[in-house]
């Protein structure tokens, strides 16, 4: 097998902490990737895919953070929730004051 080439289902390590993977996509997906990677101003198809994965990862992490935040506030007693609301209002007043 040529150096740097991944066997089916395997990953090989490349320089700079990157790993080479092999995937199979439908032809229309490949056409889309090639067309849009050029328009996205990236150097390569790999850079385009990495950007797409990074964006999906950021969305997933934000969703997870939002869910954990909602669970935290849902778990508060009414008194604690009211105190948090009051602190939030105070913070908003401080921000409004600095924006003037």
| pLDDT tens readout for residues 64-96 | 999 999 999 999 999 999 999 999 999 998 877
Q: Domain of residue 17: give its range.
A: 12-99
CA distance 21 to 4: 10
CA distance 99 to 92: 11
In terms of pTM, does the model score above 0.75?
no
Q: Is residue 1 part of a domain?
A: no
Long-range contacts of 6-10 (CB under 8 A, 24+ apart): none
pLDDT at 3: 46
CA distance 100 to 97: 6
Whether 14 shows a pLDDT value over 70: the answer reads no
pLDDT at 2: 47
Whether 37 shows a pLDDT value over 70: the answer reads yes
Backbone angles phi, psi at 20, to 5 degrees: -90, 135
Token pair recorded at residue 77: 């007693």
The total of structural domains in the chain comes to 1
Q: Is residue 3 part of a domain?
A: no
Q: Is residue 32 part of a domain?
A: yes
Whether 40 shows a pLDDT value over 50: the answer reads yes
pLDDT at 9: 57
Q: Is residue 5 part of a domain?
A: no
């Amino acid at each position: 097998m040529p150096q740097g080439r991944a066997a089916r289902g395997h990953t090989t390590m490349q320089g700079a902490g990157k790993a080479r993977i092999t995937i199979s996509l439908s032809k229309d997906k490949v056409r889309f990737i090639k067309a849009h990677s050029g328009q996205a101003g990236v150097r390569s198809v790999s850079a385009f895919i990495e950007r797409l994965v990074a964006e999906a990862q950021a969305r997933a992490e934000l969703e997870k953070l939002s869910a954990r935040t909602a669970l935290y506030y849902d778990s508060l007693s009414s008194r604690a929730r009211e105190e948090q609301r009051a602190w939030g209002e105070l913070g908003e007043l401080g921000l409004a004051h600095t924006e003037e």
